[in-house]
Copies of this chain bind each other. A is one copy, B any other.
Amino acid sequence: MLNQQALYYGKVKSGIRQLFEIGREKKRIFGEENVFDFSLGNPSVPPPEEVKAAFLDALETQAPLSLHGYTTAPGDNECRDAIAKDFTERYGEEFTRWNFYMTCGATAAIISCLKAFVTGPESEVVVLAPYFPEYRTFIDSCGAKTIVVPPDFESFQINLAALEDKLTVNTRCVIINTPNNPTGVIYTRENLEGMAEILRAKSKEFGHPIYVISDEPYRELVYGDCELPFIPRIYNNTIICYSFSKCLSIPGDRIGYMCAPSCMDDVDDVMAATAGAARCFAYVCAPAIMQQVIKRCAAVRPDLAPYEFNRALIYEGLTKIGYECVYPDGAFYLFIKAPNGNSKLFSAMAQDENLLIVPADEFGCPGYLRVSYCVDADMIESSLPVFQKVFERCKNR
């Protein structure tokens, strides 16, 4: 007699995790250098040197009881002040510590928002395919329905007509993720303005706000001069869920935040409900020493050069072979079309050659695959002939 939902999520592993474990086994058998593992979104660029310096400074200069003690639930004041200052400088608006609530990474922020916005089993949460598969776990765990908006296969921007079509009186919120995992696409200002217009009209029609949960772990991973619009200024009822995982290459350390901008409708109630949700999930506070690290690193940016180098290498390499690839402006993923149209079969064929790429079926986008290029450039180089071989085998079948 156990909870069936919990049992299910404990027994059914994610496809990414399964592939990762296959990779580990293959490396053991064939040797590290003979396996081309593009399965995980783990940063491959070491943390900026400021991170270690921040740990050492905190450990050497702060009284241990306060350094390792509970913070308030929303988080250390100076940590939130540092983030607010960075926001104010970048986005030209007034943010204060009151807008921020520190969390154990973006996932803790997302589930706290979901719980706050879901009002009962009729509640619907809209996700835009292709989407991060764990969204479905979190929505399910909050007792709501996941509503999938199909992709715009031309641009992988938000499919506005399809979005409008999926909104109902039960829609509580829409999760967006830009730069996007798994496509690397950045939603344009025009596209986001289109979304905002639809959401405003529907909120009015239904008589309650439709919130946007903006999942932004890749915010600092934007290449070239591509614009990453600041969503709350386009749509006020946006709550930002952020993680320092990708920006500072510290995904295991679990530190991020929720940011509810003051321009939100009922911002005080939204903040109370998201805080109450975090309390209900027993989060207590975000790791205290990590808050001290972030206090010192809130304005530190990652070294993008290695990712940008990889992006060119893999994009050019694969398009030259003949793969259809979505051009990525951010994050560290390349989204490719299965040359045979069947992503699971293609992934299995690649696996036979020790090439590990994730079919996007569980991202809600069958026929495509995700290539994580947060890897050594050398591995990309040596994988290209393998990509070529699988491509040809695939065409000849």
Contacts and interface: CB of A to CB of B under 8 A. Distances in A.
Interface of A: 1-11, 42-44, 46-47, 51-52, 55-56, 59, 64-65, 67-71, 104-105, 107-108, 110-111, 115-119, 134, 137-138, 140-141, 172, 208-209, 249-254, 266, 269-277, 279-291
Contacts of A273: 2-3, 6-7, 10
Given A269-B2, A269-B7, A69 B252 contact: yes
A137 B65 contact: no
7 contacts: A3-B115, A7-B273, A47-B64, A55-B59, A55-B289, A134-B282, A287-B287
Contact of A108 (B43, B69, B70, B282): B282
Nearest to A44: B65
Contacts of A5: 276, 280
Contacts of A110: 282
Give the dominant DSSP class at A's interface.
Answer: helix
Contacts of A291: 252
B6 A277 contact: yes
B10 A275 contact: yes
A188 to B, nearest CB: 29
A10 B277 contact: yes
B209 A271 contact: no
A276 B12 CA distance: 9
Contacts of A119: 1-4
A274 B6 contact: yes
Nearest to A66: B252
B65 A138 contact: no
Q: Which of A47, A64, A137 has the most CB of B within 10 A?
A: A64
Contacts of A252: 67-71, 285, 287-289, 291
Nearest to A71: B252
A95 B79 CA distance: 40
Most chain B CB atoms below 10 A, which of A70, A115, A286, A291? A70
A47 B69 contact: no
Nearest to A104: B104
